[in-house]
């Protein structure tokens, strides 16, 4: 009887329901987070652990490879945000309009890449962008009468490959986010705007854009995080973590290199903590500028 009373109690029920989330949050988020911060002040050997204070962070400051990784990740994050917000939004608006036929097919076509594993798509892109003359991109170049290119050995061409892979994979997903945002906009708003003689552009500018802003903020936030945390795409594109002159090295790739390949967990944790701080700062700035911290109007 007691158990039943406990379960039916209005006070305890909410806690029971959120317990699984709280537990997994503490075990898989809070605990690793704290231990990573602790480990970033240590030198972790095979058997011994040694406190080294801020030595790991001091080393990060003059570690030129880390700076390259930082720059690469920033660049990638910036470009993915620039590409993966306007275009999916455009596609979503098109899908929502009457201009497109066979919408289901288009949605599926755009979404299917997201279902493939990065490992497979990365390998396929590596073969496509091979510097050898039989790689698809080089076959294309030859047919256009151009020189073959060592795609993955040059900074800007490899950036194209990475961004293409990223857009190919994520455009469909972001488009779906925007579509669901669009569905929640009241159609009457458009009708009344039409009566007032609003053009297509002004409807988009003054009704669609402001009303899907929550979706835009959400997509921007996850894009910033995903851009900064990118690793697997570059790992697959160069068949490992070593790219010529580190043109494909990202922060997480560097963390992996230090932690796993060189077994320097303490130093890798310092890299991870820096990544987390950067991610937090950028997202706080972004959310602040978007006004997400302002109190909701009642």
Partner 1 sequence: MKKQLLSAVLSATMVASMVVGCGSTNAPEGSVSDATVTSGSAATSAAAAAASSEASADATSEASAAETSDASAAASSEVQPTAVTTVGNASGTHFEMWSFVEAHNSFYAGMVDKWNKENPDKQIEVTFTTYPYSDMHNKLLMSLKAGTGAPDICDVEMGQVPNIYEGLDTWLYPLDDAMKPYASDMLQSRLAAYKGSDGKQYGAPFHVGATVMYWNMAELNKYGITKDDVDAVKTWDDYTALGKKYIAANTADGKYFTSADTGGTDWMWLAMAEYGEDWTGGFDGTANVQLDSVKNMLTMQQEWLKDGVAEVSPDGHVDLEAGYQNILDHNIVSFPKAMWYMSRFINYMPDEKGNWYITKCPVFEDGQKCSVGIGGTGTVVTQQSKDPSLAADFLCYAKMSPEGEQEIWNQLGFDVCNISLWTDDTFAHDKTNQYNQFFQNYPYDVLASIKDEIGTIMTVKISPAINDQMNTTTLNAVLEDSEDVDQALQEAQDAIELEE
| 45 makes contact with partner 1 (CB under 8 A) | yes
Gyration radius of the chain's alpha carbons: 24
Rounded to an integer, what distance in angstroms lies between the CA atom of residue 198 and that of residue 165? 38
CA distance 152 to 240: 13
Q: Is 261 in the site for partner 1 (CB under 8 A)?
A: yes
Cα separation, 36 vs 33, in Å, equals 5
3-state SS, residue 187: helix
Using the minimum distance from each CB to partner 1, give the nearer residue, 89 or 270: 270
Distance CA 198, CA 173 (A): 30
Least distance between partner 1 and beta carbon 39 (Å):
12
Contact call for residue 194 and partner 1 (CB under 8 A): no
**Does 243 sit near partner 1 (CB under 8 A)?**
yes
Decide if residue 132 touches partner 1 (CB under 8 A): yes
Query: What pairs with residue 49 in β-bridges?
Result: 44
User: Of residues 63, 72, 177, 228, which one binds partner 1 by CB under 8 A?
Assistant: 63
Contact 272, 266 (CB under 8 A): no
Q: How far is the CB of 48 from partner 1 (least distance, A)?
A: 11
Q: Does 257 bind partner 1 (CB under 8 A)?
A: yes
Number of shown-chain residues binding partner 1 (CB under 8 A): 35
Of the candidates 80, 96, 82, the one whose C-alpha atom is nearest the C-alpha of residue 211 is: 96
244 CB neighbour count, 10 Å cutoff: 13
Near partner 1 by CB under 8 A, which window of 18-26, 160-168, 179-187, 193-201?
18-26
- Residue 88 C-beta: closest distance to partner 1, Å: 22
Counting contacts by CB under 8 A, is residue 293 touching partner 1?
Answer: no
Q: Where do contacts with partner 1 occur on this chain (CB under 8 A)?
A: 14, 17-18, 20-21, 24, 28, 45-47, 62-65, 127, 130-135, 153, 239, 242-246, 249, 257, 260-263, 296
């Amino acid at each position: 009887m007691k158990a039943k009373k406990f379960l039916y109690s209005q006070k305890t029920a909410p806690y029971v329901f959120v317990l699984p989330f709280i537990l997994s949050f503490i075990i898989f988020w809070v605990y690793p987070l704290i231990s990573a911060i602790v480990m970033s002040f240590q030198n972790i050997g095979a058997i011994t652990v040694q406190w080294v204070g801020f030595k790991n962070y001091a080393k990060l400051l003059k570690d030129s490879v880390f700076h390259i990784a930082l720059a690469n990740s920033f660049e990638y994050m910036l470009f993915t945000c620039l590409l993966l917000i306007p275009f999916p939004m455009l596609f979503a608006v098109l899908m929502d309009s009457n201009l497109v036929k066979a919408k289901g097919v288009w949605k599926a076509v755009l979404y299917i890449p997201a279902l493939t594993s990065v490992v497979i798509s990365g390998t396929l892109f590596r073969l496509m962008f091979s510097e050898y003359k039989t790689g698809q991109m080089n076959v294309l170049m030859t047919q256009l009468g151009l020189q073959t290119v060592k795609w993955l050995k040059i900074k800007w061409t490899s950036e194209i490959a990475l961004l293409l892979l990223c857009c190919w994979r994520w455009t469909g997903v972001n488009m779906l986010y925007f579509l669901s945002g669009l569905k929640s906009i009241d159609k009457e708003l458009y009708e009344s705007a039409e009566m007032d003689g609003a053009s297509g552009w002004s409807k988009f500018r003054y009704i669609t854009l402001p009303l899907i802003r929550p979706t835009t903020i959400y997509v921007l936030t996850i894009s910033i995080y995903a851009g900064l945390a990118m690793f697997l795409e570059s790992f697959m594109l160069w068949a490992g973590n070593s790219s010529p002159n580190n043109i494909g090295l990202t922060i997480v790739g560097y963390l992996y290199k230090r932690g796993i390949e060189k077994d320097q967990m303490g130093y890798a944790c310092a890299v991870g903590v820096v990544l987390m701080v950067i991610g937090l700062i950028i997202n706080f700035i972004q959310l602040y500028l978007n006004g997400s911290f302002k109190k909701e109007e009642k």
